[in-house]
Chain A
Amino acid sequence: MKKKALIPALTLSAVTLLAACGGGGNNEAPADDAAASANEPAQEDVTIDFMHLWPAGSSPDHHRIVTDIISEFEEMHPHVTVELEVLENEQYKNKLQVVSSSNQLPDVGMTWAAGFLEPYVNGELFAPLDDVLEDGFRDDFVAGTLEAYSINDQTYALPLELNIAPVFYNTAIFEEHGVSVPETYDDFLNTIDTLVEAGVTPIALGNRDRWTGSLWYMYLADRIGGADALNSAIDRSGSFNDERLIAAAEGIQEMVEHDAFIPGFNGLSDQEAKAEFMNGNAAMYLIGSWDLPNYTTNEEVPQEFRDSIDFFKFPEVEGGEGDINGWVGGPGVGLFVAENSDVKEESKEFVAYFTEEWGKRSVEDAGVIPGTQVNTDEVDLPDLFISVLDELNNASSITLFADVQMSSSVAETHLNMIQSLFGEAVTPEEFAEEHENALQADE
């Protein structure tokens, strides 16, 4: 029934995020264009409709940067007005689908990578943005991030976020119970046992959201089978019946049997689980680097707690093919331009300008690691942040979140199966089989 997903096997090798003096010269290009067009006489007034998902209430920093960049852009282009519509994440996704059904997308909006993007590209709703990436702008992006938004060698969105998922842990709890950062998976299980015996919940996990559990599975798959095992199963050059992937699924159930996760994890949302970690009730929490502000700069979180948080890399599995510097992560939202926008040129210019400016400010002002390279000499960041950026820089691979890689219907099966695997409602073999069935049905 469906076309096979053309998934970019997103293994970013040799990522160079922290360009010491990164691409300063390249950055000029879009700005020059902008200045040039501003000088042109009396252009017709146009309005760019821009839809984003950072409400002023919940994401004041993001929202402020967006507003600032818009007013600068409007100043440079007096004939352009940018009209905003802001919706929260869930409502945003819904509205995007509804407006697409009538081909009435806003001129500029936010999209996610790979599997999410694909139907919009197939439906020819997003405009290719390769022309704005010429003149070296392409090199400003962290290697591999643009590829996540590319189909058939054309780029359909410019990434604004890039994340990896470290295991955050509470050093105070670790010290109190005499455990240290585990170096191997067996160590990790021992750590878990020690904490459980001491009456401490080892890991906060909100698996009602399901992608949270998927992160754990992905790391086990990576450490056992290497960066390619899962990617190739998803792009159909391999299979979920691969014994290394089955071993990863077994590893999840082993952790569950060791009581590694908080009681009732399958009924808890990520936010409820996070609260247990933030409250000192759980020792570890695996989440994307977007959560860094909570452990560094967020004034609402007690200083004492923030000081006690550190992170470690998911431990290696003995005999496994993975590398401890392999990460699970990838770009988050990116900006698209609607194919049938009647202000396409202005919109493209806006998207390019926005992405570039966002990259300069987002880490420092909002704690968001952008898809463009960060010049560490110019930013002032807490140590924990710098360590994560260093890890990102030294990553041997970054495997894109499985549910983002997959087409939406396969992703739904994957996520349901994750919940069932953690809940021990399916065996690792059934887990693999269901994935195979869904992937075949999708071809």
Chain B
Amino acid sequence: MSSSTATATTSEGLKLGPFRFKPLNLLLYIALSLVAVIQILPLVWLFLFSLKDNQEVFNLPPLALPGDPQWGNYARVWTEGNIGLYFFNSVLVTGSAVILTVLLASFVTFAITRMKWKLNKLVLGLFMVGLMIPVHSTIIPLFSFFSSVGLMDTHLSIILTYTAFNLPLTMMILLGFYYTIPRELEEAAIMDGCSVHRMFFRIILPITAPVVATTAIINMIYNWNEFIFVNTFLSSDRNKTLTVGIQNFIGQYSTDWGAIGATLVISMLPILIAFLLLSNRIVEGMTAGSVKG
């Protein structure tokens, strides 16, 4: 692996020249495009879904255009109470939990993979077991815990819970990458008289930017759409997040599907934008990072 510290070449600069105009290549593009169409259709479907009324939702084929687009679904969702507040709460909870999770997970992963200590395998094991817990069997114990420490109906209970449940997964993804960071890099840094903290924040974090972006996206998506904990731990309307927006349209005996579609579209937009911004970070190759560092 010593070659990894060699010259600075961004991966973007490479070309697969010889393989571009062969028939195989054409087939490849057709296949890629086909998959792309399959993956993008749900978005189109969801948008059309949000413009249908309850009859059309069930009776029209998924990709059929609604007879009379129900823009009112959006108006209804928007005027129905506190979307703005829910939105703010969602951003607050998701954002705090993502930052906390990614930072803490990076700390631990760094300590486990780059430092020598006796309990390191045990600690890693503890985190990995955390991944295996079925969420539903923790709800009642967590509820009694939060109510006994007075954190019920606070955002902190949600942020901490998201962090706890996402730490193991985040670490697991980070681990594979930390293992591939060449040791020479740290050794060089230490010889330059760099403190551990300085090294972590100035070298390790920038190098792992692509995977940090990856885990941040994954965390974000999970937290943004989560509703079990939100429903259980929060009770006042002023604290609730966007996921209650969906609930608002599920009735005792019937459901307003068009409005749910509109809620889903509205609540997906921010995550889509965040995703598009963050996903650009993923392409930055590690070598580029290490040279900068």
Contacts and interface: CB of A to CB of B under 8 A. Distances in A.
Task: Answer yes or no: do A and B interact.
Answer: yes
Interface of A: 49, 53-59, 83-91, 94-95, 98-99, 101-102, 104, 271-272, 274-276, 278-279, 288, 290-291, 294, 300-301, 332-333
Given A89-B252, A271-B255, A102 B247 contact: no
A85 B235 contact: yes
Nearest to B235: A85
Interface stretch (B95-103, B140-148, B212-220): B140-148
Of B55, B80, B143, B235, chain A has the most CB atoms within 10 Å of the CB of: B235
A279 B247 contact: no
Contacts of B53: 300
A288 B253 CA distance: 10
B248 A56 contact: yes
Contact of B81 (A56, A59, A102, A332): A56
29 contacts: A49-B235, A54-B252, A55-B248, A55-B249, A57-B77, A57-B249, A58-B254, A58-B256, A59-B252, A86-B248, A88-B250, A88-B252, A89-B250, A91-B231, A94-B228, A95-B231, A95-B232, A98-B139, A102-B144, A102-B147, A104-B147, A274-B254, A278-B55, A279-B59, A294-B254, A300-B53, A300-B54, A332-B252, A333-B252
B262 to A, nearest CB: 11
Contacts of B55: 275, 278-279, 300-301
Interface residues of B, number: 33
Contacts of A275: 54-55, 57-59
A264 to B, nearest CB: 14
A55 to B, nearest CB: 4
Interface pairs A-B: 5 shortest CB-CB = A275-B58, A58-B251, A57-B248, A88-B250, A57-B249
B250 A94 contact: no
A12 B144 CA distance: 41
B236 interface: yes
A53 B248 CA distance: 10
Interface string B221-235: 000000110011001
Contacts of A55: 247-251
Contacts of A101: 140, 143-144
Interface string B256-270: 100100000000000
Contacts of B81: 56
Interface in B48-97: 53-55, 57-59, 76-77, 80-81
